[in-house]
């Protein structure tokens, strides 16, 4: 497949493809076999300042365009992403490792945010409010926040960018994106298509860097930047929140998860197994909404555990570019070691391996799809975002026990449960302390719904009619001098 027209090896600032000032680059590896895909510029603080300045200059004209003009340009960008879906997916699998089918799904999902917010751009309504004053009229209008800095993760290197840039541009903001150092090519490919779509220079900028801390500090402290939109781990989110405080920036935080998946005794067990697989093993378990703890009521514990293990044993592991592969590599060696340490800790405290769990002849960055049972709250794996293809099964007796254990975490992003009792659907959904609840499904992510978490999983919502609010300011106008 010819991806050369999308494989960019320069950063993108003010409509120009640029090198780092010191001409330094850093290499990007294919997580399947650690081969080098290419290299990109290692930009620093001075280049970042220039990108922010370019976004500031572009803001005036971009925000003055009509909603229809912005909408039409975003629509063109969406169409180009769909037109080049296969190349974008191939490039994504090369640098991130997920199976090609999943990568294609991410491109479609990512593009859908541009399509959705191309429409939402035309529906940014204000209010005319009945005035309590005879001589004054009251109006609320919505205006773009201004220059936005977006810092994004490697696990969804396309969709986590469009989920931010779509609403930001629709609202009239301009954006500087710092993608993850592991996966810069997907971001640069989006910039190549943005250029072709007619997104004006300075509106959408990409800073590639192997120095996220210093570039991140510039983005979070530069007073021109009025909004930080971050997707990544909770520890990094907390750093960015603190750094953003001195200039009182608006912040959106899409952080880590520790999703519970509860199977009640009245559930359709086969459907629950399918849902657990869909939720747990997508992207080799490297998604923020992956099931992290499976709670199974004692009456169906053995049946569920056995059926899940049998299904996981059959999973095809390998190069994401190969036909039929279901589980690709983790992003790097460090990730493999982290998952292995959690499994070792769990088994040392009594967890039992039903399948996988042994790194005997694993080459590259692979960790075998694994199912652990007899997991309990004493184990690190119960309280830690695994970010690997490891399912943990915990037995429970009563609904109250399940809810208490499910809520026993500082995270609050996604949660799931299976039941055929409709009173329980409402009771448990309302009791779970999470931003999102999947009932009788393990797949909940869609552009039309508000995606986001509570507690230490973050704040703000992405997608849906709510997603654009994070990029708007409400201005109250009190218009006097009204006389009879």
Ligand X SMILES: NC(=O)c1ccc[n+]([C@@H]2O[C@H](COP(=O)([O-])OP(=O)(O)OC[C@H]3O[C@@H](n4cnc5c(N)ncnc54)[C@H](O)[C@@H]3O)[C@@H](O)[C@H]2O)c1
- Which residue numbers are catalytic? 254
Reported residue count of the chain is 484
Q: Which is nearer to ligand LB4VBGO6, 155 or 409 (CB)?
A: 155
Q: CB under 8 Å to 323, separation ≥6 — which residues?
A: none
Token pair, residue 121, equals 């751009």
- Residue indicated by tokens 């559930």: 267
Site string for ligand LB4VBGO6, 263-292 (x = CB under 6 A): ------------------------xxx---
Q: How, if at all, do strands 352-355 and 370-373 pair?
A: antiparallel
Question: Least distance (Å) from ligand LB4VBGO6 to the CB of residue 289?
Answer: 5
Site for ligand LB4VBGO6 in 414-453 (CB under 6 A): 445
Q: Taking CB under 6 A as the rule, does residue 386 contact ligand X?
A: no
Q: How far apart are CA 362 and CA 365, in angstroms?
A: 8
| C-alpha triplet 343, 346, 348: angle, nearest 5° | 110
Site for ligand X in 273-302 (CB under 6 A): 288
Question: Least distance (Å) from ligand X to the CB of residue 442?
Answer: 16
Q: How far apart are CA 320 and CA 283, in angstroms?
A: 10
Q: Taking CB under 6 A as the rule, does residue 232 contact ligand X?
A: yes
Listed ranges 47-55, 126-134, 210-218, 346-354: which one lies at the site for ligand X (CB under 6 A): 210-218
Q: CB under 8 Å to 286, separation ≥6 — which residues?
A: 98, 155, 330, 331, 335, 387, 388
Q: Kindly provide the residue ranges of all beta strands, DSSP E only, lying in 269-367, ordered along the sequence.
A: 291-297, 352-355
Q: Which is nearer to ligand X, 184 or 320 (CB)?
A: 184
Q: How many CA atoms lie within 13 A of 416 on its CB side?
A: 31
Site for ligand LB4VBGO6 in 118-157 (CB under 6 A): 155-156
Q: Which residue of 73, 89, 103, 180 would you call a contact of ligand X, by CB under 6 A? A: 180
Q: Which is nearer to ligand LB4VBGO6, 156 or 382 (CB)?
A: 156
Q: Taking CB under 6 A as the rule, does residue 471 contact ligand LB4VBGO6?
A: no
Q: How many CA atoms lie within 13 A of 201 on its CB side?
A: 8
150 binds, among ligand X, ligand LB4VBGO6, none (CB under 5 to 8 A by kind): none
445 binds, among ligand X, ligand LB4VBGO6, none (CB under 5 to 8 A by kind): ligand LB4VBGO6
Question: Least distance (Å) from ligand X to the CB of residue 216?
Answer: 2
Burial annotation 91-128 (CB, 10 A radius, 16+ → b, else e)? bbbbbbbbbbebbbbbbbbbbbbbbbbbebbeebeeee
> If residue 459 lies in a helix (H) or strand (E), which one and from where to where?
strand 458-459
CB 444 within 8 A of CB 436: yes
255 binds, among ligand LB4VBGO6, ligand X, none (CB under 5 to 8 A by kind): ligand X
Q: Which is nearer to ligand X, 172 or 460 (CB)?
A: 460
According to DSSP, the residues that pair with 231 across neighbouring strands are: 254
Binding residues for ligand X, total number by CB under 6 A: 28
Q: Which residues would be at the binding site for ligand X (CB under 6 A)? A: 151-156, 160, 178, 180-181, 212-213, 216, 231-233, 236, 239-240, 254-257, 288, 385, 413, 453, 458
Residues near ligand LB4VBGO6 (CB under 6 A) are 155-156, 159, 287-289, 445
């Amino acid at each position: 497949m010819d991806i050369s027209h999308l494989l960019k090896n320069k950063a993108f600032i003010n409509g120009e493809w640029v090198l780092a000032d010191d001409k330094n680059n850093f290499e990007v590896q294919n997580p399947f076999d650690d081969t080098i895909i290419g290299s990109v510029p290692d930009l620093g603080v001075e280049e970042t300042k220039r990108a922010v300045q370019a976004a500031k200059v572009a803001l005036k004209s971009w925000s003055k365009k009509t909603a229809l003009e912005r909408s039409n340009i975003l629509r063109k960008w969406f169409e180009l992403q769909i037109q080049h879906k296969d190349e974008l997916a191939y490039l994504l699998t090369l640098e991130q490792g997920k199976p090609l089918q999943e990568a294609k799904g991410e491109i479609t999902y990512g593009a859908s945010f541009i399509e959705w917010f191309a429409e939402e751009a035309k529906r940014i309504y204000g209010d005319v409010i009945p005035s309590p004053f005879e001589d004054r009229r009251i109006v609320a209008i919505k205006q773009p926040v201004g220059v936005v800095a977006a810092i994004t993760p490697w696990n969804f290197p396309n969709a986590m960018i469009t989920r931010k840039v779509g609403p930001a541009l629709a609202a009239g903001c301009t954006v500087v994106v710092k993608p993850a150092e592991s996966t810069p090519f997907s971001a640069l490919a989006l910039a190549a298509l943005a250029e072709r779509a007619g997104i004006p220079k300075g509106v959408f900028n990409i800073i590639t860097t192997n120095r996220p801390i210093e570039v991140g500090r510039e983005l979070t402290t530069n007073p021109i930047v009025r909004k930080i939109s971050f997707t990544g781990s909770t520890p990094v989110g907390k750093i960015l929140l603190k750094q953003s405080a001195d200039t009182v920036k608006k912040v959106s935080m899409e952080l880590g998860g520790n999703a519970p998946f509860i199977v009640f005794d009245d559930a359709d067990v086969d459907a629950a197994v399918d849902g657990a697989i869909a939720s747990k093993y997508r992207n080799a378990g490297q998604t923020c909404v992956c099931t992290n703890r499976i709670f199974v009521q004692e009456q169906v514990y053995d049946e569920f555990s056995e059926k899940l293990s049998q299904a996981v044993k059959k999973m095809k592991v390998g190069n994401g570019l190969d036909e039929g592969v279901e589980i690709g590599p983790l992003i790097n060696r460090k990730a493999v070691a982290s998952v292995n340490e959690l499994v070792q800790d769990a088994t040392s405290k009594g967890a039992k391996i039903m399948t996988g769990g042994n790194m005997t002849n694993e080459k590259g960055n692979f960790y075998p799809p694994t199912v652990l049972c007899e997991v309990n709250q004493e184990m690190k794996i119960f309280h830690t975002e695994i970010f690997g293809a490891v399912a943990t099964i915990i037995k429970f007796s009563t609904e109250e026990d399940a809810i208490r254990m499910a809520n026993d975490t500082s995270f609050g992003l996604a949660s799931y449960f299976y039941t055929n009792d409709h009173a329980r659907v409402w009771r448990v959904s309302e009791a779970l302390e999470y931003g999102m609840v999947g009932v009788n499904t393990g797949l909940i992510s869609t552009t039309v719904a508000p995606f986001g978490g509570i507690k230490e999983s973050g704040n703000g919502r992405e997608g849906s009619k709510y997603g654009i609010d994070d990029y708007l300011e409400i201005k109250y106008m009190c218009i006097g001098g009204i006389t009879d």
